[in-house]
């Protein structure tokens, strides 16, 4: 758990004091009251093996017992913990592993990854101060306590408004009580204790047996006003899951509001823990979802660690079906709705929201197969795939089978397998037997591959002989999954037809000629990755092309339109002056194979056409180590100015490789790029070609995030190579710390005399940016009294004081930075370098310049100002060639390319 949390960027447990982390000890296992040998498994500190003195033969039983002592974690790091005197007692006792037809199933506790436990009868007695209320798995055995709870429930039902401010915890009574809870046919036991609980009691009649189930909610003042109606949510959960999946077998069901370190809610048998919800819709969804887990995690007892989709995916499907069919709104997702509207996306039910999340990872190439063990998902994919993709896939299955057959299959499966730990294969066999259909497209392909449904219209024509319309659909996606198409007349659906999946092309006929278009998946019942090829019209030209749509400031894709977005833009640089222009682009979200951005502008000062044109084509291999291969081109032309205007142009053509992140290191990613750049500069009278090869590793894993980049640059008559390594050590859980950058650069050969391709001690500034790779609003200004001349890029030697020291052989440097432990973004820096020049002005021998100063980091990685304190004499002397004022020594970094989330830096419509 500690390792997984740290690797995914959650440093809460990592930085916690030992004394607050909690532990379990005092284990001493006995079998039938006899001492036995036991040990922890290799490399674990939470899985132990008991070595029986005598063999346990089939059909025989033994009694295993142990004392145990639990120190409750001081904070709620994950699921077990306490928040002041409010206790969340879950995963708190030594649990027997399940022995199923795959053998022993044991694993360590994880935050991202749930459970698999054996069914049994729990008989639990809890002793605690008398004024605590306890919500627990099982049925309370103390009549006098039940009376007290019912009295409390009556009191609570009379409260009209709950005071949101919680005034600490009431003093614990001196007197203690012992509560006993008993329950059969459950596989876990959790309890929550709080002295502040309000309680409500309800009851719900099950749909088939008409059996009554008692329902309870326990909550505090914090969200009391939302919880007033929560009994209805618990009742609805119990009722509709019983109706759709199978009858609830227990006598009661409870939801409790209590602190939670992992997610919005957490399920336990007959009992769910709900964190803070914020609004009624969210509370209803979370309660229904968590109550719903009783059927999958609980009664069916899936191995949710190995097959999280079976629990979260199937359960989310029912939660969303409840929201769609019963609540009839988009539920939990309504809080995102204004954002969605802004993006031009219409949500009509929660499945639409799932589709957005799934499209996002499908279209950027980071998707993973649905049936994966919890720990194999990269952090954000766990939620998107196990929940959203699982729900969406189940919805696809239901739409294909039809609600009636699907519901029959699920109820049949539930009754056949309850309390028996079924596997995905058991689910497949049961559904195939019940529906009479081959469901391998779902259980073999969707579960185990990253393949998508993408059906595409090829053509439509009238068969003159038969007077019947024929059309052809091609399967582009590689997933052999069922297809739904609809025939429309004047926008109204005349017919909607499901056909089994096929590979390649298939011919269809339409007997009734009264239609004007055919749509694939008109009602979002499938999971189509590319909906841009889902429409064909009977008549007209360009029948497969969706109508053109021009939109101001668009963002998101609308598959029923061919969208062209535009926006007026204004750029500025010192030479061109104000540049009015127009940005023309295609949808940005979700990622698409072909993307372009054109931004012609006009410089009012230079009276010249300036601007940028960018296009890329992406390939997502899905199966290999590669997430994305991107071929791109970028053209830009602007001016610079000293005494007259000088035009410059840059044309890039390149390939970028983005490698997949691994679940074991979700915050580490590798990318590589090969780029050819043609650069034409009037000022330096140069016209040359550069070829740059880069490989970079970026690891954001705390506490030691680091990045490493290696470059090769072929230019006219030279080959330059350099390595840059950055590492940060944080002092505390804040982003403050000590950082170091190591740079080493060398020319393998260098006969170039015409461009400033040097390794510069003090980085790149406008004047020597021969590659035009950075955004310098005033690139030729060397007058130190001008503000823009103080802008530089902290590359190469990384020195901050402006000086002309460079190397045409090799240069290496170390830049140290230590943040002051004060609430201001101030740090002290020390730069030390060494370099060598064989034959130039600053040659002779190896030099060791250094400088020391204070950094004001206004915006991390974007805007920082450097105030030098002291420096070696060589820097001081060379700096004095420019100026003698202190102001001239102060320089700043303003990294425009980090401000806007565009991939290639010079595209931002702010300044150039």
Could you list the residues that contact Zn ion (CB under 5 A)?
312
Our CB check for Zn ion shows the closer of 223 and 312 to be 312
Our CB check for Zn ion shows the closer of 312 and 724 to be 312
Question: How far apart are the C-alpha atoms of 25 and 70, rounded to whole Å?
Answer: 7
- Smallest CA-to-CA distance from 851 within 873, 880, 831, 867 is with 831
Structure tokens, 676:
């050819």
Measure Cα distances from 414 to 40, 297, 322, 348, 359 in Å. 36, 12, 19, 30, 31
Minimum Å gap between C-beta 611 and Zn ion is 50
Tell me phi and psi for residue 793, to 5 degrees: -115, 130
Minimum Å gap between C-beta 87 and Zn ion is 22
Q: Do residues 810 and 720 lie in contact, with contact meaning Cβ atoms separated by under 8 Å?
A: no
Question: How far apart are the C-alpha atoms of 681 and 718, rounded to whole Å?
Answer: 19
Q: DSSP assignment, residue 453?
A: B
Question: How far apart are the C-alpha atoms of 570 and 68, rounded to whole Å?
Answer: 69
Residue nearest to Zn ion (CB): 312
Our CB check for Zn ion shows the closer of 294 and 812 to be 294
Dihedral (CA of 474, 476, 478, 482) sign: negative
Question: How far apart are the C-alpha atoms of 658 and 642, rounded to whole Å?
Answer: 40
Strand partners, 602: 609
Our CB check for Zn ion shows the closer of 31 and 386 to be 386
Our CB check for Zn ion shows the closer of 312 and 367 to be 312
The 3-state secondary structure of 635-651, one letter per residue: EEEEEEECCCEEEEEEE
Our CB check for Zn ion shows the closer of 356 and 391 to be 391
Our CB check for Zn ion shows the closer of 312 and 713 to be 312
Minimum Å gap between C-beta 246 and Zn ion is 18
Question: How far apart are the C-alpha atoms of 417 and 270, rounded to whole Å?
Answer: 19
Minimum Å gap between C-beta 423 and Zn ion is 19
Please, what's the largest Cα pairwise distance for the chain? 98
Strand partners, 595: 616
Q: How far is CA 23 from the centre of its chain?
A: 31
Neighbours of 278 (CB within 10 A): 12
Q: How far is CA 25 from the centre of its chain?
A: 36
Minimum Å gap between C-beta 302 and Zn ion is 12
Minimum Å gap between C-beta 297 and Zn ion is 8
Question: How far apart are the C-alpha atoms of 700 and 381, rounded to whole Å?
Answer: 17
Burial class from Cβ neighbours inside 10 Å (0-12, 13-18, 19+) for residue 155 reads exposed
Q: Do residues 701 and 665 lie in contact, with contact meaning Cβ atoms separated by under 8 Å?
A: yes
Our CB check for Zn ion shows the closer of 297 and 810 to be 297
Minimum Å gap between C-beta 289 and Zn ion is 6
Structure tokens, 575:
């030479």
Q: Do residues 800 and 891 lie in contact, with contact meaning Cβ atoms separated by under 8 Å?
A: yes
Minimum Å gap between C-beta 111 and Zn ion is 14
Our CB check for Zn ion shows the closer of 138 and 313 to be 313
Angle at 91 between CA 300 and CA 314, to 5 degrees: 30
Minimum Å gap between C-beta 276 and Zn ion is 17
Q: In what order do the strands lie in the sheet with 120-129?
A: 120-129, 176-186, 139-140
Q: How far is CA 818 from the centre of its chain?
A: 31
Minimum Å gap between C-beta 412 and Zn ion is 24
Our CB check for Zn ion shows the closer of 291 and 446 to be 291
Our CB check for Zn ion shows the closer of 197 and 322 to be 322
Q: Do residues 219 and 109 lie in contact, with contact meaning Cβ atoms separated by under 8 Å?
A: no
Our CB check for Zn ion shows the closer of 365 and 390 to be 390
Minimum Å gap between C-beta 424 and Zn ion is 18
Minimum Å gap between C-beta 372 and Zn ion is 16
Burial class from Cβ neighbours inside 10 Å (0-12, 13-18, 19+) for residue 723 reads middle
Residue 46 neighbours by CB under 8 Å, 6+ apart: 24, 40, 108, 109
Minimum Å gap between C-beta 383 and Zn ion is 10
Minimum Å gap between C-beta 534 and Zn ion is 32
Torsion over CA of 121, 127, 129 and 131, rounded to 10 degrees?
30
Bin 193: left if φ > 0, else alpha if -120 < ψ < 50, else beta: beta
Strand 212-219 to 198-205 pairing? antiparallel
Our CB check for Zn ion shows the closer of 162 and 295 to be 295
Our CB check for Zn ion shows the closer of 312 and 855 to be 312
Minimum Å gap between C-beta 310 and Zn ion is 11
Question: How far apart are the C-alpha atoms of 298 and 311, rounded to whole Å?
Answer: 9
Question: How far apart are the C-alpha atoms of 676 and 651, rounded to whole Å?
Answer: 8
Strand 548-552 to 562-573 pairing? parallel
Question: How far apart are the C-alpha atoms of 650 and 652, rounded to whole Å?
Answer: 7
Our CB check for Zn ion shows the closer of 194 and 312 to be 312
Q: Do residues 216 and 135 lie in contact, with contact meaning Cβ atoms separated by under 8 Å?
A: yes
Minimum Å gap between C-beta 601 and Zn ion is 51
Our CB check for Zn ion shows the closer of 312 and 576 to be 312
Neighbours of 85 (CB within 10 A): 16
Q: DSSP assignment, residue 203?
A: E
Minimum Å gap between C-beta 312 and Zn ion is 5
Q: Do residues 709 and 694 lie in contact, with contact meaning Cβ atoms separated by under 8 Å?
A: yes
Our CB check for Zn ion shows the closer of 320 and 546 to be 320
Our CB check for Zn ion shows the closer of 312 and 778 to be 312
Minimum Å gap between C-beta 262 and Zn ion is 10
């Amino acid at each position: 758990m500690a390792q997984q949390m740290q690797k995914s960027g959650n440093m809460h447990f990592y930085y916690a004091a030992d004394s607050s982390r909690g532990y379990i000890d005092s284990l001493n296992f006995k079998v039938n009251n006899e001492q036995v040998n036991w040990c922890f498994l290799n490399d674990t500190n939470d899985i132990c093996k008991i070595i029986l003195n005598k063999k346990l033969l089939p059909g025989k039983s033994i009694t295993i017992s142990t004392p145990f002592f639990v120190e409750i974690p001081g904070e709620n790091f994950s699921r077990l913990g306490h928040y002041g005197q409010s206790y969340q007692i879950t995963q708190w006792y030594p649990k027997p592993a399940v022995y199923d037809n795959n053998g022993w199933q044991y694993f360590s506790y994880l935050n991202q990854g749930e459970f698999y436990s054996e069914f049994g009868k729990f008989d639990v007695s809890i002793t605690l101060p008398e004024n605590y209320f306890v919500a627990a798995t099982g049925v309370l055995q103390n009549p006098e306590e039940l009376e007290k709870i019912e009295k409390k429930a009556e009191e609570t039902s009379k409260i009209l408004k709950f005071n949101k401010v919680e005034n600490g915890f009431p003093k614990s009574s001196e007197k203690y009580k012992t509560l006993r809870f008993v329950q059969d046919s459950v596989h876990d036991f959790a309890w929550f204790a709080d002295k502040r609980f309000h309680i409500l009691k309800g009851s719900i009649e099950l749909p088939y047996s008409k059996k009554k189930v008692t329902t309870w909610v326990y909550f505090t003042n914090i969200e009391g006003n939302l919880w007033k109606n929560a009994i209805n949510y618990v009742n609805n959960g119990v009722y509709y899951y019983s109706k759709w999946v199978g009858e609830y077998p227990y006598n009661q069901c409870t939801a409790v509001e209590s602190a939670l370190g992992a997610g919005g809610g957490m399920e336990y048998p007959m009992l769910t823990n709900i964190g803070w919800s914020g609004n009624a819709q969210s509370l209803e969804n979370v309660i229904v979802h968590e109550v719903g887990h009783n059927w999958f995690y609980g009664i069916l007892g899936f191995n949710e660690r190995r097959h999280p989709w079976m629990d979260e995916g199937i359960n989310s499907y029912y939660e969303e079906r409840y929201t769609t069919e019963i609540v009839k709104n988009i539920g939990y997702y309504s809080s995102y709705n204004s954002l969605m509207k802004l993006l031009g996306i219409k949500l009509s039910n929660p499945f639409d929201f799932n589709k957005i999340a799934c499209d996002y990872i499908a279209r950027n190439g980071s998707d993973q197969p649905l049936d994966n063990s919890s720990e194999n998902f990269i952090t954000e994919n766990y939620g998107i795939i196990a929940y959203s993709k699982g729900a969406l896939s189940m919805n696809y299955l239901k739409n294909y089978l039809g609600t009636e057959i699907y519901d029959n299959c699920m109820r049949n499966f539930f009754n056949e397998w309850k309390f028996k730990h079924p596997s995905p294969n058991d689910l497949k066999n049961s559904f195939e037997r019940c529906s009479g259909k081959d469901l391998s497209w779902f259980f073999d392909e969707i579960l185990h591959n990253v393949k998508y449904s993408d059906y595409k219209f090829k053509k439509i024509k009238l068969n003159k002989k038969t007077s019947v319309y024929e059309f052809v659909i091609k399967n582009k996606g590689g997933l052999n999954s069922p297809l739904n198409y609809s025939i429309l007349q004047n926008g109204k659906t005349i017919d909607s037809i499901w056909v089994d999946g096929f590979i390649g092309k298939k011919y269809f006929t339409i007997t009734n000629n009264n239609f004007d278009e055919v749509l694939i998946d008109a009602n979002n019942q499938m999971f189509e990755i590319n909906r841009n090829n889902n429409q064909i019209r009977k008549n007209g030209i360009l029948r497969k092309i969706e109508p053109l749509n021009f939109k101001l400031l668009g963002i998101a894709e609308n598959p029923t339109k061919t969208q062209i977005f535009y926006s007026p833009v204004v750029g500025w640089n010192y030479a061109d002056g104000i540049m009015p222009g127009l940005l023309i682009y295609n949808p940005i979200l979700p990622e698409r194979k072909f993307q372009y951005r054109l931004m012609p502008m006009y410089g009012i000062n230079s009276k010249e056409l300036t601007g940028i044109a960018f296009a890329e084509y992406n390939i997502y291999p899905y199966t290999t180590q590669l997430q994305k291969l991107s071929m791109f081109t970028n053209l830009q032309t602007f001016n610079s100015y000293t005494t007259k205007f000088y035009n410059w142009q840059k044309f890039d053509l390149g390939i970028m490789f983005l490698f997949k992140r691994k679940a074991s290191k979700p915050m580490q990613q590798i990318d590589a790029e090969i780029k050819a750049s043609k650069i034409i500069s009037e000022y330096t009278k140069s016209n040359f070609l550069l070829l740059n090869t880069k490989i970079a590793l970026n690891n954001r894993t705390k506490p030691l995030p680091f990045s490493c980049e290696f470059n090769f640059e072929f230019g006219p008559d030279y080959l330059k190579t350099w390595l840059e390594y950055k590492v940060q050590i944080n002092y505390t859980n804040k982003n403050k710390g000590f950082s170091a950058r190591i740079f080493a650069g060398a020319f393998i050969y260098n006969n170039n005399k015409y461009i400033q391709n040097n390794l510069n001690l003090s980085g790149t500034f406008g004047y020597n940016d021969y590659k035009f790779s950075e955004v310098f609003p005033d690139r030729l200004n060397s007058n130190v009294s001008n503000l823009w001349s103080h802008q530089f890029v902290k590359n190469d030697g990384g020195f901050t004081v402006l000086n002309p020291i460079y190397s045409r052989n090799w240069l290496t440097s170390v830049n140290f930075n230590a943040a002051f432990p004060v609430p201001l973004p101030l740090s002290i820096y020390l730069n030390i370098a060494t370099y060598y020049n064989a034959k130039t002005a600053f040659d002779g021998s190896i030099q060791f310049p250094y400088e020391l100063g204070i950094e004001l980091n206004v915006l991390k990685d974007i805007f920082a100002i450097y105030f030098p304190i002291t420096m070696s004499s060589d820097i001081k002397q060379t700096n004095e060639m420019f100026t003698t004022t202190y102001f001239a020594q102060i320089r700043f970094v303003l990294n425009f390319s980090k401000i806007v989330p565009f991939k290639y830096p010079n595209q931002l419509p702010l300044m150039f």
